[in-house]
Amino acid sequence: MADNPSTYQQSHSQHSATVMAENPSTHQQSHPQHSFGTKNLSEILKKKNKTMNRQRRKIQKLEKELEKCSKPRPVQQDANVILLRAEVERLNRELRLKEEKSTSQQEYVVSYLEKSISNYLQHLEDQLSQMEEGYQGAMQNLQADISTLQNTNKKLTSQLMEKKASIAKAKSLAKAGKVSDDAILSLWKKMKYSIHNIASTILTECPSWEEIKTNIAHSDCVLSILTPRYHVFLKDEDTRSSIVELLIWEMLQRQIFKPFSETLTGVCWGGLEGQCFSVILEGMADTALKKDADAKSFFQWKAEGARMIDDMFGVDNQKLKQMADEQAATFYLFVPKRKVHQKTAMERLFKNLCTVIEDALSLHKIFMTSKAHFTLDWPLPGRCRLTRYDSE
């Protein structure tokens, strides 16, 4: 019995030494230097739990030994039992402290991670907000650029269309204005021949001065230019046709080439609009010619306006025949009074007047739609021959 307590005491001392030797290392393992930023949290918690489980197994082992010691035993073993119980209590306290510390560390880690995650999410939200603001700004700038480009495109398209229209007008005017001097003079000579033919073959009668004065219905009647001195030339067969030709030319001058603004009838080229346009140009042409810088643009505008009027109105053939019929009635005094041929003569007069008026309208159209400037003037005694028109 004397050996047993010493044996048990030795065994207990060895066991206690073993336990005490393991505890510092275990305790040291529970306090490593952690860097949550570089180690995985799951590995840290796993090591902590492993250490605590090892401690629990040791406590369970000591409790079993304590139960064995609680059985009827010699009095010499009581001191060892007390030591074992004290050791168990100490280990339990350490275990509780470690559990509390582990729980605190876990809470700290969780709090740290939650805070880190919250900060990171806030950072991501801020970045997303900045990106959205940048996207909205970029979209607004893009819309502004698109709007600017669209406006620029509209302006360029409008300028291009205007340029094309200007080129087309220039080509059209150039094409329309390319009427040769010979073509104009040829048409003029045709009119001259037709008028001479009317005066020498149809209007061969010489009315009395009283008949002439009676048939002057109004001041714009072409017969109003006749005077007793002209009547003397009408009586002479050698000069009669020249006076009649003068009357026909004067009629064309008044009705077509230079209509009076007080007696516009709308029967010439372009209708009433064409007559008004002719009257306006007659007054403006002299002013434009005095200003060399404005003359070219003025006559170009004249040609464009005349072409527009010609396209819209042109020549009314019904009014042309009406004009020829009215002028035939005026020149009826100069038709011979032989009843057999009078009706035929009037028909010939009407037909020839229609031809002359139609040629005069064609010539006036050329004058109006051309960029060149034409003037009609009668040669006077002692005056040199007029120069041909200048196409420039």
For residue range 189-220, list pLDDT tens digits in order: 999 999 999 999 999 999 999 998 888 877 77
195 and 335 share one domain: yes
348 and 238 share one domain: yes
The answer to whether residue 392 sits within a structural domain is no
199 and 341 share one domain: yes
Following DSSP, what letter does each residue of 215-238 receive, concatenated? Answer: H--STTSGGGG--HHHHHHHHSHH
Residue 45 pLDDT greater than 90, yes or no: no
Residue 15 pLDDT greater than 50, yes or no: no
340 and 195 share one domain: yes
Give pLDDT, residue 205. Answer: 92
| Average pLDDT, integer, range 12-31 | 39
Helix H or strand E segment including 54:
helix 41-70
235 and 340 share one domain: yes
111 and 180 share one domain: no
212 and 356 share one domain: yes
Lowest mean pLDDT: which of 42-56, 83-97, 237-251, 341-355?
A: 42-56
The answer to whether residue 132 sits within a structural domain is no
The answer to whether residue 133 sits within a structural domain is no
72 and 195 share one domain: no
Residue 238 pLDDT greater than 70, yes or no: yes
The answer to whether residue 148 sits within a structural domain is no
Q: Contact, 235 vs 284, CB < 8 A?
A: no
CA distances from 89 to 95, 255, 346 (A): 10, 142, 157
110 and 217 share one domain: no
- Indicate the pLDDT class of residue 26, thresholds 50, 70 and 90: very low
The answer to whether residue 125 sits within a structural domain is no
- Indicate the pLDDT class of residue 389, thresholds 50, 70 and 90: very low
The answer to whether residue 78 sits within a structural domain is yes
81 and 202 share one domain: no
90 and 185 share one domain: no
Q: State which residues form the domain around 306.
A: 176-369
Give pLDDT, residue 5. Answer: 39
72, 99, 119 - which closes a domain: 119
What is the number of structural domains in the chain?
2
Q: At what angle do helices 181-201 and 339-369 cross, to 10 degrees?
A: 160
- The number of beta carbons lying within 10 Å of the beta carbon of residue 4 is 12
Residue 153 pLDDT greater than 80, yes or no: yes
Following DSSP, what letter does each residue of 234-253 receive, concatenated? Answer: HHSHHHHHHHHHHHHHHHHI
The answer to whether residue 145 sits within a structural domain is no
184 and 323 share one domain: yes
The answer to whether residue 157 sits within a structural domain is no
Region class of 270: left (phi > 0), else alpha (psi between -120 and 50), else beta = left
